[in-house]
Each structure stands twice: as C-alpha cells, then as structure tokens.
Amino acid sequence: MSSEKEKLLRSGKRNWIGLLIVWAIFFCQHFMEGIPSPFIYLGAALIIFFLLRAFQFGRKIKQNPELAIAMNDEYIQHIRLKSYRTTYWVVSVIIVSLLFLKDVLSLSTESVLLIILFALFFTPAIILLIMDREK
Amino acid sequence: MQNAKLKNTLKIQRARKDLTQEQLADIVCVTRKTINTVEKGKYVPSTVLALKLARALDVTVEELFMLEEEFGTSSSGPAPAI
C-alpha cells in the first residue's frame, strides 16, 4: 500500500499543479485582449481533463478507507489550516489595497470579484503545495 | 520552559526496528511526509500520534520525545506522564 499511497499523492499533486496553471492562464486571459479562441478551447479542454482526473483521484481514495485516513492525516490538516490562515490575510490585504487604489485603478465590479476569487482559490492551493514540498 | 523544544529519537528507534519511513507511516496510518517532518522536528505530533509511534516502535513516549530546553535551563520536577 505504501508505494500506492506515494504514487497517488504524487499524481494528485501533479493534477493540482496542472489545474492551477490552466486556471491561472484563464484568469489572466480575462485581463488581456486578443487571445485567439482556439487557445481558450484548449484551456477549457484541459480544465475538463484535470477535473476528471481529480474526480478519479477522489474515487480511488474513497474506495480505500485506510488510504483516505492516511492521506488526511494530522500533518496535512495542520498545513491546510495554515494555508487557510494565510489566505485570510492575503485576501484582507488585497481588499484593503483595492480600497485604497479605487481612484487610481478603474476596475469593474466583475474584475474585483475575479481578483478576490482568484486569491481565495489560488492562495491556499499554492501555499499547500509550497508547504508540502520535500525539504 | 517557554523556550522548550521537542527533541525526538524517532530516527534511531526506527533504525533499531529496521523500519523505513514508509513502513512506519503505514503502521501508524499517516503519510511518509508526516513521519519525515516529525523526525526532522519540523512538526510536533499530537498526543495520539506520539502514542501510536511509541507503540509501533515498542518504546515509551518519553523515550521517543523529550524536551530540550534552550539556554541550558532545565525544568524542575519529573516530566508529566502522557
């Protein structure tokens, strides 16, 4: 089971990184003009691919309760909590910065919401990946 | 007491039992990374995990984990039993 656990962990991590990269590209695309449409379709296809893999990953874990317990152990819960705590501060800083910069930057409500959403989803994921690194 | 750090002999005890981090992780139902971070002193395990580790390695918790006081000051009295 050991190597299976490690293999699953690695594949789950790779999947997360892929999903984050594609989502980041999609996010940037909102603020950039002139991105060709085939590029967007490719991005959508990649998102579906990574989401399907994430679903598969979840199913594999559900089938093995022992594996599920091991992969949600106290250290993982600890770093997850840390990442949420950091996200709280990052989002707070972004909101305060946007408040101060509201006269300088002319951002639409949609853009502001997208920035906050981006920070909410990406900060915990990136921090988790950083903290989960092998040192 | 405020500067107390938790030291452990996990690596030694694991070597004594001839177990790899992965094998020990399997026994106590955690990931190898958890064992690695505890071993390096980067993460302080919960009482439950400390007890599981001690049981898996056939030692007491006090043999596995001990307080290392910074600046050479030692705590008075015996260590509280877990």
Q: How far apart are CA A19 and CA A16, in angstroms?
A: 5
Q: How far apart are CA B18 and CA A128, in angstroms?
A: 32
Q: How far apart are CA B47 and CA B81, in angstroms?
A: 11
Q: Please name the residue that has the structure tokens 């994921």.
A: A125
Tell whether pTM > 0.80: no
Structure tokens at A95: 């909101």
Mean pLDDT computed over A44-64:
82
pLDDT band for position A129 (cuts 50, 70, 90): confident
From A69, which residue of chain B is nearest by alpha-carbon distance? Answer: B29
**Best mutation site among B29, B33, B42 for testing chain A: the one with the most A CBs within 10 Å?**
B33
**Best mutation site among B31, B36, B51 for testing chain A: the one with the most A CBs within 10 Å?**
B31
CB B79 within 8 A of CB B1: no
Give the minimum alpha-carbon distance from A124 to chain B in angstroms, rounded to a whole number.
19
For A70-97, what is each residue's pLDDT tens digit?
Answer: 778 899 999 999 999 999 999 999 999 9
Has residue A20 got a pLDDT over 90? no
Interface of A with B in 6-35 (CB under 8 A): 6, 9
The single-letter code of the amino acid at A12 is G
E strand residue ranges, chain B: 4-8, 65-69
Is any Cβ of chain A less than 8 angstroms from the Cβ of B37?
yes
For B2-27, what is each residue's pLDDT tens digit?
Answer: 567 889 999 999 999 999 999 999 89
Residue B79: helix, strand or coil by DSSP?
A: coil
In the prediction, which pLDDT does A7 show?
80
From B34, which residue of chain A is nearest by alpha-carbon distance? Answer: A75
